[in-house]
Amino acid sequence: MQPFVILRWLFATLTLVVFTACSSTTVAPVPTSTVSPTNIPAATATTQPSIPLVTDGIDISSLTGRIVFSAGPPHAEDIYVINADGAGLTQLTTDPASDFDPAWSPDGSKIAFRSQRDGNDEIYVMNADGSGQIILTDGPETGHSPAWSPDGKVVFPSSEESGPSLWVINPDGSELRRISEVDGEYPAWSPDGTQIAYDLPPLSASEFDIWVTNVDGSGDRLLAGGSTPQQGPAWSPDGTQIAFQSGLEAEPHYSHIWIMNADGSGQRRLSQDYGARPVWSPDGRYILFHWGDLYVMRADGSGVTRLPISGLGELTFPDWTR
């Protein structure tokens, strides 16, 4: 082989080696984006576990009705309303004290709520637009966790000198009467008007069980109990099921959303992760609950999706009407 040919061969070989070495250099992988979809909660300062990613989320724009809820820093919450599709967010109360625990009247024209603006926990009622706020329990007793009867009366627990009881009053403040002497909280009136479910602390513990009583105060019976708290019963619109929060299968001080038949049978867990204070959509297809933010899921527990509400702090105690 001629010297010139040998030199050309050596140069080509060296060039190929250098090119191959450069091409095989390892490149550091680009980190995968950690931006969550809009139906997943952003990180917060709380220690509450986050809701997991979902692949079958609910189309929020398809939801109908109105949702009322509490929001704001502790002891300074206000009450807000928003359309279920995420539009029309409106603040209803502006008192510097705490206004929370809102509940829609059956026809959606009024909202009962708890307020500490007078120094005690008292029950107030206002129109759906926030106007006409009046106090219902202006006296030595206190009231909290109001709910409504199917015929438009307000039911609430209260403590008086005679002991804790469940009371009923008209939304104009008239005809206050006691309906049960149980030490119940967060009452929920059945759609057929015959029963009231409520939280009740066992005698030997500070936790709560779920009981039900007839509206005349008779026939108290346990629906959900155990060594962990069971709270916040919510009747389905057809009255056949009750959603509630339970500490079963959860870490201490946390809860999942569960469901049971109206007689307490068939208890099963719905939510994969944590949640509290469930309520039903008016058509019974969905369940709304809070856990730092507000979430909606199908009645079978699937499709957990965050409502697009931000900038208000912790969102709590939702209720849903047409």
Q: What is the mean pLDDT of residues 314-320?
A: 98
pLDDT tens digits, residue range 208-220? Answer: 999 999 998 899 9
Task: Please report the pLDDT score of residue 56 as a whole number.
Answer: 84
Q: Would you mind telling me the total number of residues written for the chain in this entry? A: 322
Q: In whole angstroms, what is the distance from residue 112 CA to residue 127 CA?
A: 9
pLDDT tens digits, residue range 204-253? Answer: 566 899 999 999 889 999 999 988 999 999 999 999 999 999 999 999 99
Per-residue DSSP letter, 13: H
**pLDDT higher for 277 or 52?**
277
DSSP per-residue string spanning 145-202: S-EE-TTS-EEEEEEETTEEEEEEE-TTS---EEEE-S--EEEEE-TTSSEEEEEE--
Q: Which of 195, 185, 97, 93 is nearest to 144 (CA)?
A: 185
| Residue 274 pLDDT greater than 80, yes or no | yes
Task: Please report the pLDDT score of residue 195 as a whole number.
Answer: 97
Question: How buried is 71 (Cβ within 10 angstroms: 0-12 exposed, 13-18 middle, 19+ buried)?
Answer: buried
Task: Please report the pLDDT score of residue 142 as a whole number.
Answer: 78
Task: Please report the pLDDT score of residue 175 as a whole number.
Answer: 94
pLDDT tens digits, residue range 99-133? Answer: 999 999 999 999 999 999 988 899 999 999 999 99
Q: Could you give all domains of the chain from N- to C-terminal order, each with its CATH number? A: 56-321 (2.120.10.30)
The CA distances from residue 115 to 74, 101, 170, 232, in Å, are 13, 8, 18, 19
pLDDT tens digits, residue range 59-95? Answer: 999 999 999 999 999 999 999 999 999 999 999 999 9
Residue found by looking up tokens 């009645």 in the block: 299
Which residues contact residue 48 at a Cβ distance below 8 angstroms, ignoring those fewer than 6 apart? 254, 274, 291, 292
